[in-house]
Structure 1
Amino acid sequence: MTKAIFCPTCKTTVLAENENFPFCSDRCRLLDLGAWASGDYKISSPILDPELLEEVEQSQLLAEARNNEDRWKH
């Protein structure tokens, strides 16, 4: 049985035998690569290191405080 999926870029049906699988064409493959290269796609995971998590929370609080301070100046 031939496996078929949808192209992640344009959603066209693609057969596993297609030379550009899982994309339907070289164009769709390059568009996807461009999206990765420009930062449109991101792989994120939860921060599990307690020290790093605390550092991130501190920087978020500082940024929030600066934003509030800027609002009061204007």
Structure 2
Amino acid sequence: MVIITFLDDANKRRALGYLSGRFAFKSWSNGEMMVSEDVLSHLTGEGITFNVEGPATYEHLIPAVRDPAAPAV
């Protein structure tokens, strides 16, 4: 899995429309999107421009399930 970002909102919307129903992906409000490496060639083939930020980290792969600042008991 890799993290990609888009140069503008139009490309991000096009990518979301293309990926939905075809590939698994995760998108965050900060503009990052996590996709598998084979998706990159499909996005390029559709003329969607993007930047590859690098491989997904553990924090990207595992969702946050609790608040790190747990209350005192």
The normalised TM-score by structure 1 is 0.19
In our comparison, the structure showing a higher alpha carbon Rg is 1
Q: Determine which structure has the larger helix proportion and give its number.
A: 1
The normalised TM-score by structure 2 is 0.19
Higher relative contact order (CA 8 A, sep 6+): 2
